[in-house]
Chain A
Amino acid sequence: MTRLKNDCFGQWIDTTQPKKFTFEGNVIEGFDGDSVASALLAHQIWVQSRSFKYHRPRGPLTLSGQDANTLVQSPKTPNLLADRVPVEEGLQLSGQNYSGWLGFDLSRTLDWFGRFLPVGFYYKAFFKPRGMWALWEPIVRRAAGLGTSNLSVKADYTDKAYLFCDVAVIGGGPAGLHAALKVADGGAEVLLVEQDPSLGGSLNYHAFSSDLKETQRQRDALIRNVFEHPNIKVLQSATCNAWFGDHYLPVLQGRRLFKVRAKQTILATGSSEQHAIFRNNDLPGVVMCSAMDRLSRLYGVIPEPPLAVLAGNDLAYKTAFSSHDAGATVVAIIDLRAQCDDQTLRAEAEARGIQVYAQCVVYEARSEWGAHRLSRVDVHGLHHDSGVGQKIASIDCGVLAMSVGYMPAYQLACQAGALLQYDDASAQFSISNLPKGMHIAGSINSVFTLSALECDARNAARAALKALDIAVEERDEAVDCRASVNHPWPFVKHPKGREFVDFDEDLQIKDIVNATRMGYRDIQLVKRFSTVGMGPSQGRHSALPTARLVAKATNRSVTQTGVTTARPPLTPEPLGLLAGRRFHPLRRTALHHRHLALHGQMIPAGSWQRPAYYGQPADRRSAIDAEVTAVRTGVGLIDVSTLGGIDLRGPDAPEFMNRLYTFGFVKQPVGKTRYAVMTNEQGVVSDDGVAARLSEHHYYVTATTTGVDQVYRDMLKWNAQWRLDLDIANVTSAFSAVNLAGPLSREVLRQAGCDLDLSPEQFPYLAYRESTIEGIPTRLMRVGFVGELGYELHVPSPLVGELWDRLMTAGHAHSIRPFGVEAQRLLRLEKGHIIVGQDTDGMTHPNEVALRWAIAQHKPFYVGGRSVEILSRRTLERQLVGFELTDVSTQPMEGHLVIREGEIVGSVTSCEFSPTLQKIIGLAYVHPEDAAAGSQIVIRIESGVCAQARVVKTPFYDPDNARQSL
C-alpha cells in the first residue's frame, strides 16, 4: 500500500529506505523510522497480539507504547511492545500468548466461557476436593503468562553511566521544550529526556491549529534552539523510568541505563488519552485519537476503510479533520455531548461531509465473523442522565478513533509523593502536593492549549531556577487552562458485557462493580481482587475509569476512592539493563597465580578465593594428608593474606582494645601477641584473631576472613560513641601474610634471609618482632594455630610474592609444601582450636566453648561483658567438646545431630579423619552432663544410623603444647 510522505504526514519514515522483517513468519516491508506496529498497520495487519485472560485478538491502541495490546515476541525476547520496537532489517517477530496461531487461538474458548469466569473466579473454585488445586494449577499456569522466555539466552553485557544536571526536564513535548529553554537561559544545566525518537511530543502529531505547517515551523524553531543551547543536553528515545529519593532518576536509552542525579525535576510528561468503555471496545481497529494522529502524521499510514470518530471533547474533531485532510474517508463523528465547546466545529465537519451524531454513543463495536477487526459500530442516542436510548445508526467503519478524556501522566510525581485530586466539574484528576524540587508543566498539569502550555512551562522553569538560587526577575504568568477535555462518564453498559475497563487484564464494567459488591471496596482491594491495573501498562488506562466506577458503586467521591499506588518502574524495563555488568566482587590474594601454578584448587572464602589444597581433584585426600604430614614433620607454607588486618594507633589504642576484646590489653607487653576474642552485646562470640602490640600506642590485630568487615564497622561504630583518641584502619588488603609452620620452619626462615635471632630465647612463642627479610619489611608473629613451631609473616602486599618465592626456595631442601585451607582446618582440629563461625553459632558464649581463659576477670568493661558475666552464673545448657570414633566406617559429618534420650542436644561442628592420629576426631556440642572425657555420645548420621562417639580431652594432638613453643 502507498504511504503518505510529505511535510506534515509520514514525518518519521524514510520511504527511500525500505526494511524487511518477518511477523508470524510473513515477510513485511516497512521503512526506516517505522515502528513494527505502524509497518504492520500499513499492511492492514491489525491483530498483533492476544489478550491475557480471554485470548481476544488485540491491535494497537495508543501507538506509543502505553498499552499492552501490541505485546509481541522475538526469538530472544518475550513481551516487546510492537509500537516501541523500531523496524530493522531481519527482525523476526511473532505474536504471543496463543495456542494455534495468532489468527486462530484455541484458548479463545475461554472468552466464550467468560460468563462462568466472574471476577476472582479462581478464589471460588479449583480446590475441592482437597488437593485439587495441585492438579488445576499447572493448567491455570499454562493459560496465564504472556510471552515465552527463551531459556538458552545468555545475558548480554550492558553498561551504565552517571549523569548530573541542575534540572532534569522529563518530556520533550511543547511544555518540556519551553521549560528546558527557559531554565537553560537562566544559566542552569538541563538534561532533557524524551521517550520518542525525536523531540516535539504532541507538536509532531496533534493538530493544534488548522495550519499544520505553521505548528511545525514553531516546533522546528523550538527544537533548533534546544539543540543549539550550550546548557541543554538531550536524550532521545530515552525513558525516565522512575523517580527515586533526591531526584535520582534512572533513564533507559537503548541498551544503556543512565543514572541521573538532578537538583530539580520538571515533569512535562503529558497525559494519557483515555478510552471510552462500550461493548467490544477492544476490537482491533478501535484506537485513541492520538494513535490515529500518530499513525498518519508520523508514519504516513492512512487506513483505507472508513474512519469514524467518537468524541467526548473538541480535540476529537481535530483528528477527524486532519485524517480527512490526509485522505482518509471520515464517515462520522459520534459526539457524547449535545454540542461542542467550539460551536464552529460541527459546521466545519459537515462542510467536509462528515456526519455528526450529537448526544450519541457507540453502543457496540462489531466485526465480521472470524475477521478479528472492526467493521461496524452501532450508534445509540444518549439521555441526559447518561442512559442509553434507541439505536440511531449502524455505521460501517474499519477504524474508530476515540477521544473522551485524559489522565495526567502522574506516575513519576506520585512515586515522589504527590497526590491526585479529582475535580468533579472538569472530571479530571490533577496533581497536588508536589515534593520539594519537583515541578510540573503542560498537560500533566491539565493545560492543553499551546499558548497556555508555554506560560505554564515558563512558570515551572522559574520555580526551578528560584529553587536553585538563580535570580528570576519576571513574575509568573497567568495560565488559561479552560479547555474541557474529559467527558465525565464515558461508560456504556451492555447486557452482554465485554465493555473493557482494563485491556491488560480483560476486565469489564461488571468485574469492577462486582468486586465492590463482594466487599472489596477499597481501591487497593478492588485491584488485588480483580487484578485491575496489575498488567503491563500498570493502570494507565484503567485507573481513571476504575476510580469512577468504584466511587459510584461505594458512594464515595472519586478523590476519596483514588487510584492505586504508583510504583517504579514507569515502563517495564529489561532486567539485563538493571543488572548491567553484574559486578560481584571477587578477591584474589597477591599469591593467586602462584597457587594456580602449583595446582591449587581454589574455593571461595567470603569474596576471596583461597586454595583448598594443592594437586588434582582425583588426589584430594592424599594431597591433604601429605600437606598435613609436611607441617607435622617438616615444614609447610600457607597463604593467610585473607585474614583481616586492622591497625590501631593512638594514645587510647590500649584502652580501645581493652574495651573491644575480652582479654586484658592495657598491660600487654610491647613485642608480644595475644589471642583476641570479641563478644557482642549478647555475650556471643563474634570474632577472634591475634593482637600484636607493636609499640606503646600501636596494635596490629587480625580478624577472621569473613568477619573483618563487620569487625571494622563495629570498631568505627563503637568509637563513634566512645570518642577515644586513636585511628583505626582496615589494612587487610595493604598487608599480605603467610604462615610458615612445622618443626623445620625456623631453619627455613633463617635460610630465607631473616636477620633476626630466631632462637626460642630471643624469639619465643607468642612474641612479635619486626625485621627485614632480604629487604622485605616484615612483621613476624610466633603463633600456634596449627600446633607446630610457626611464624606468621605479614608484609606489604606488593612484596609477598617475593617473600613466598624466597621461602619456597629456602625450603626446597627441606621438602617444603604449600598447604591449603583443608589441611589447615585439619591441623587446627587436631590441635582442638575452634574456628569462630564454624564451631560457634549465633548463640555461642565463651563458656560453652571453653574460652573462659581468654576473658580478663578484672577489667571494668568490655563489649558484651555484662552478658558474659550473667551467662557465666547460669548452668550451661550445652558445651563444645572433642570426640573421637575408633570405628572409621561411620564418619559423622559437620551438621549431624547429637541425640540424647531421643531429643536433639547439639550438633557436630567439625569432624575429620586425622592422618596424624589415624582416627576420626571432631568437635560437637553436647549436653553438659556428657561433657566429661570418657562420656559416650550418640551422633545421628544422615541415613538415620547412630554412631557412638567417645568424648575426649582436647587438644587431640600434642596435649602438652610442647611443639608449638619449640
Chain B
Amino acid sequence: MPLGLLKYGINSDYPFDKEADLPPPADLKAQYDVVIIGGGGHGVATAYYLAKYHGITNVAVLEKGYLGGGNTARNTAVIRSNYLTPEGVKFYSASVKLFENLSNEFDFNIMYSQRGQLTLAHTDATVRSFRQRAEVNKHYGGRTELISPSDIAKLVPTLNLNPANLPVLAGLWHRDGATARHDAVAWGYARGATQRGVELHQLTEVTDVLTHGGRVTGVQTNRGVVNAGVVVQAVAGHSALLAQKAGFKLPLVAYPLQAMVTLPVKPFLTPLVSSSALHCYVQQTSRGEIVFGGGSDPYPLYNSRSSLPLKESLIASAVEMFPFLSEMRLLRQWAGITDMTSDYSPIMGLTPLENYYIDAGWGTWGFKATPICGKTMAELVASGGKVPELIQPFELDRFSRFKQVNEMGATAASH
C-alpha cells in the first residue's frame, strides 16, 4: 500500500477541506486580465499554464455547467500521436510528452497508462496509409510501426482476425498510445490553476461577447458583465454558436458522437484496439469496463441524446472483433457534441476579433491535445497575440488560404 494513503487512515476524520482540490464558489469580479470561456480540459489547462509559466493569475474560467462536464467528461480517453501530417504528428507528440509527466507535475494521479494503441487495416488502401503514418511518426521520433497479422495475434490473442468478412491485413501499432482518467486531467489542471490564484466559476454561462471597435472588451454572463483584456474561447461543441456571438463565422459542423460502456469484468485487454473499416474502437478501463466508440452520427445536430441504431451497429462491430463480448452487458451509453472541421484538424489562434483567441474545431479528437492546447494557448495569450509555431498550421485563415491540414484518414473512429 502506498505510504501517501497513511495519513487518511491514521486520522479518521482527515481534514479534507484543507486539502480541497477545488475551492468553494466565490463572487465574480467585474474585471479580469484574461477570461477563458469554457471550463473543460482545454480551458482549465490554458489557465494553468498561464499561471504556471507566465505568472498571469488574474484569470477567470467561466463554465456554464460543471468543471470538465462537456466533451472532457464524455470522450473515450485516447491519447496518441500517430497522425498522418507532419504538422499533426509534431503537435500531438508534444501533447503526449506533456501527458507523461502530468501526474507528478499535478501531484494528482491522472492514471496515465501507456498501453499502446493498435489500429487494424482491412484493405490495401489502409495498409498504404498506415505505412505512411508509421514512417511519418518515426521521422518525428514517435514509436509507431506497421505490424503483421501474426504479430497482432500475439499482441491481442482474443481478437478475431476476420471480423465481418474483413480480414485483418496489418495493424498500425502505436506504442506511445495511452489512456488516462479523463476527468482527472481536468481536475488536475483546475486544481493547479486555482492553487495559483485562477478563479474557476461553474454554473456561469456566457450569453454574449462584448466588443468595442473590433476589439473584445468582456463578456455578458448569467451573473452579470465581466470585463476582460483578453478572452479565450474553448467551448468544443458549441464553438460555432459562441463565435457567432463574437461576430465571426467558424467553418464547423456539429455532429453528435456516441460512446458506451459495459459492466466491469476482470482484465483481458491491455492495448486500445480499433478497426478502421468497422469504425469501432474498444478498450478496457482500469475499472474493468469495456468502452466502445465509433463514428459520428450521420447528420448534424446540437443534441447529446443517444440512439439505438448507432448502438446496434457499433456493438455488432465490437462483437465481430471480440466474439465473446456477446455475453457481456452494456451498462451505459452517452453522447457528446463534436465540432468538426473539413480537414479533421483544429482551429487555434487569432480571430477577426482583436484579443479574442480561439481553441475550437476539436471534433472527436480533443482530449489527447489537452496539455499542448493549454500550453500553446497560454503562450499565445502571454505573448500578446504571437501565434506559437506549433499551432500556426491550425489557424483559422488556413481555410481561405487553401492550407488545410488533412488528418481525415488518421482520425476516423480512432479518436
Hey, which bits of chain A sit against chain B, CB under 8 A? 52, 76-79, 113, 115-118, 121-130, 133-134, 136-138, 140-142, 144-156, 242, 244-245, 248, 250, 259, 495, 514, 517-522, 524-525, 528-529, 536, 538, 565, 567-569, 572-576, 578-580, 582-584, 586, 603-605, 682-683, 837-838, 841-843, 867, 870-871, 874, 893-897, 904, 907, 909, 940, 942
Contacts and interface: CB of A to CB of B under 8 A. Distances in A.
Given A123-B187, A538-B332, 19 more contacts: A76-B327, A79-B328, A79-B329, A118-B14, A124-B108, A141-B286, A141-B288, A146-B265, A146-B288, A245-B307, A519-B21, A529-B187, A568-B306, A569-B330, A575-B319, A579-B319, A893-B131, A894-B127, A895-B134
Nearest to A843: B406
A137 B135 contact: no
Q: Which 3 A-B pairs have the closest CB atoms?
A: A519-B22, A895-B131, A145-B288
A142 B25 CA distance: 38
A894 B263 contact: no
B165 A153 contact: no
Contacts of B202: 522
A605 B306 CA distance: 31
A503 to B, nearest CB: 15
Contact of A126 (B2, B21, B343): B2
Contacts of B26: none
Scoring A127, A575, A579, A842 by chain B CB atoms within 10 A of each residue's CB, the highest score goes to A575
B132 A137 contact: no
Nearest to B129: A895
Contacts of A574: 326-330
Contact of B16 (A138, A518, A522, A579): A518
A826 to B, nearest CB: 13
A521 B24 contact: yes
25 contacts: A115-B12, A117-B5, A118-B5, A133-B112, A144-B264, A145-B264, A145-B267, A250-B308, A495-B12, A522-B202, A529-B187, A568-B333, A569-B330, A572-B330, A574-B327, A575-B262, A575-B325, A578-B330, A579-B326, A584-B320, A604-B123, A870-B402, A893-B131, A895-B129, A896-B132
Contact of A127 (B109, B130, B132): B109
Contact of A904 (B73, B86, B265, B327): B86
B389 interface: no
Contacts of A518: 16, 19-22
Contacts of A140: 286
A138 B111 CA distance: 12
Interface of B: 1-2, 4-6, 8-9, 12, 14, 16-17, 19-25, 65-67, 69, 73, 86, 101, 103-104, 108-109, 111-114, 122-125, 127-136, 139, 146, 158, 164-167, 181, 183-184, 187, 202, 262-268, 277-278, 286-288, 305-308, 311-312, 315-320, 323-334, 342-343, 402, 404, 406, 408-409
A578 B315 contact: yes
A682 B66 contact: no
Contact of A682 (B132, B134, B308, B402): B402
Contacts of B265: 78-79, 145-149
A604 B9 contact: no
A841 B330 contact: no
A145 B266 contact: yes
B69 A524 contact: yes
A707 to B, nearest CB: 12
Contact of B1 (A113, A147, A682, A909): A113
Contacts of B25: 521
A79 B104 contact: no
Nearest to A71: B263
A775 B146 CA distance: 51
A147 B319 contact: no
A565 B330 CA distance: 17
B109 A575 contact: no
A522 B66 contact: yes
Contacts of B1: 113, 116
A264 to B, nearest CB: 19
Contacts of A521: 22, 24-25
Given A118-B8, A134-B113, A568-B306, A149 B328 contact: yes
A486 B328 CA distance: 36
A467 B266 CA distance: 49
Nearest to A140: B286
Contacts of A156: 326
A79 B166 CA distance: 31
A800 to B, nearest CB: 23
Nearest to B203: A522
B109 A567 contact: no
Contacts of B6: 116
Contact of B5 (A124, A130, A837, A894): A124
B286 A907 contact: no
Contacts of B133: 895
Contacts of B12: 115, 495
Given A137-B113, A140-B286, A149 B263 contact: no
A880 B276 CA distance: 26
Nearest to B327: A77
B320 A582 contact: yes
A586 B316 CA distance: 15
Contact of B135 (A250, A522, A897): A897
Contact of B139 (A147, A522, A569, A904): A904
A146 B288 CA distance: 8
B23 A519 contact: yes
A579 B324 CA distance: 12
B325 to A, nearest CB: 5
Contacts of A529: 183, 187
Contacts of B306: 242, 244, 567-568
Nearest to A114: B9
A123 to B, nearest CB: 5
Given A125-B109, A604-B165, A842 B8 contact: no
B324 A153 contact: yes
B132 A583 contact: no
A80 to B, nearest CB: 9
A514 B326 contact: no
B249 to A, nearest CB: 15
B266 A148 contact: yes
Contacts of A250: 308
Contact of A142 (B19, B267, B277): B267
A133 B332 CA distance: 27
A144 B262 contact: no
A149 B16 contact: no
A342 to B, nearest CB: 41
Given A78-B265, A144-B264, A579-B312, A682 B326 contact: no
B264 A155 contact: no
A604 B24 contact: no
A309 to B, nearest CB: 32
Given A133-B103, A895-B135, A151 B268 contact: yes
Contact of B319 (A155, A517, A524, A940): A155
Q: Which of B108, B262, B286 has the most CB of A within 10 A?
A: B286
Nearest to A142: B267
Contacts of B101: 130
A127 B113 contact: no
B227 to A, nearest CB: 27
B63 to A, nearest CB: 10
B179 to A, nearest CB: 10
Contact of B308 (A115, A134, A153, A259): A259
B286 to A, nearest CB: 5
B329 A575 contact: yes
A951 B86 CA distance: 24
Contact of A579 (B267, B316, B409): B316
A580 B409 CA distance: 29
A579 B330 contact: no
A149 B65 CA distance: 38
A151 B324 contact: yes
B408 to A, nearest CB: 5
A367 to B, nearest CB: 22
